[in-house]
Amino acid sequence: MKILKAVLLIVFLAAISNVNAQDKTKAEKKLKWMDKDKNGTVSLEEMKIFYKGKTNKKGEPLKVDLMFLGLDKNNDEQITLEELKQPIDWKLAKQKSKEKK
């Protein structure tokens, strides 16, 4: 029984590390595609160009401005690789959007 628990723990930890590696790879690829000026970050303008014409599952245009605000956690108006790895914080994005008005 102890061996089974140990094996399950090892498999679980391996699966988690594999998922994290995949997320990192996706974020790195997305940064590479969006970063037109190759400075290692993504500006709002670069993000708008990347998502131009793209829609959500409902067929509605993506809210790129809100996406950007929800990713830019440190408010430096640039999205870094670390920020891109994190999920969009829609609550933060809506709060920042209200503050700008």
Q: pLDDT per residue over 69-84, tens digit each?
A: 999 999 999 999 999 9
42, β-bridge pairs: 79
One digit per residue, the tens of pLDDT, for the chain of length 101 reads 667 666 555 655 565 555 454 556 888 999 999 999 999 999 999 999 999 999 989 999 999 999 999 999 999 999 999 999 999 999 999 999 988 76
What is the CB neighbour count within 10 angstroms for residue 93?
A: 19
Q: Is the pTM of this model over 0.75?
A: no
Environment class of 83 (CB within 10 Å of its CB; exposed 0-12, middle 13-18, buried 19+):
buried
> Domains of the chain: which residue ranges?
2-100
Please tell me whether residue 61 adopts helix, strand or coil conformation. strand
Looking at the domain 2-100, which fold is it?
Answer: Recoverin; domain 1 (1.10.238)
By C-alpha distance, which of 24, 16, 33 is closest to 81? 24
Q: Give the list of residues 6+ apart from residue 25 with CB closer than 8 angstroms, or none.
A: none
